[in-house]
Amino acid sequence: MESVVVKISGSLVHPPRLDYLTRLRDVLWGLVDGGFRVAVVVGGGGLARSYIDVLRRAGVSEALLDEMGIESSRLNASLLAKLLYPRSQPYPLASLREVLEVFMTGLIPVSGGFQPGQSTNAVAAVIAEALGARTLLNCLKGVEGVYSDEPSTPGARLLRRLTYRQLEDILVKVSSQRAGSYTLWDMVALSVARRSGLRIVFFDCSDPANIWGALKGEKGSIVEG
């Protein structure tokens, strides 16, 4: 059975919308029914950013802001884990070891962040590597894939296929490594993907059915090689 890791933007989970979440649940269950082994990682999204913004303005250290982001992502992951139960554990997992233990039982492991200084994108990449997954699906909200520049920049083009090096060049232009700011991908996650030869698909998951299209290479941007 092929393993696939699904990284879900926290902005897709919070604020929670019942119709969306039930459709997302049904698609994830459908992947399992279709013969895939699935692991899910959920980001902190707007929930994390709102908390982090207040704390940063209050002068709180970046290390503690990272902790706030992790806790926010785990709350989002807890929501999704309970929604997926009994085909998932009903709580967020906090380490790679826990993910592997749940995965070996045949359930869908659901996690948020693991540790300060590590984005949920990096968590998803590490999990994919550990599970031997070939593909990591990066579910975005309202963004079709990877663009040549910030999507709002005039002249920015959607790139359907690109290499790790091309993604790295784009990240240098548009990314910040501060807590709460991993809007697309980050260098740690990229290094893990590169060393394991992971195929990453960035796509708009405003419609959960797009997960199937991304898995087939019909949606979004594919990064590999």
- Binding-site sequence positions for ATP: 7-11, 45, 49, 147, 150
DSSP H helices in 58-183? 62-84, 96-104, 120-131, 164-174
Question: How far apart are alpha carbons 116 and 131 in whole angstroms?
Answer: 22
Contacts of 107 (CB under 8 A, 6+ apart): 87, 88, 89
> How wide is the angle at C-alpha 141 spanned by C-alphas 138 and 144, nearest 5°?
70
> How wide is the angle at C-alpha 39 spanned by C-alphas 65 and 204, nearest 5°?
75
> Could you tell me which residues are annotated as the binding site?
7-11, 44-45, 49, 66, 114-120, 147, 150
63 is written with which tokens?
A: 């290390």
Q: Are 161 and 184 in contact (CB under 8 A)?
A: no
Phi, psi of 7 (to 5 degrees): -95, 120
Question: How far apart are alpha carbons 37 and 30 in whole angstroms?
Answer: 11
Question: How far apart are alpha carbons 66 and 113 in whole angstroms?
Answer: 9
> How wide is the angle at C-alpha 157 spanned by C-alphas 151 and 162, nearest 5°?
105
> Could you tell me which residues are annotated as the binding site for UMP?
44, 66, 114-120
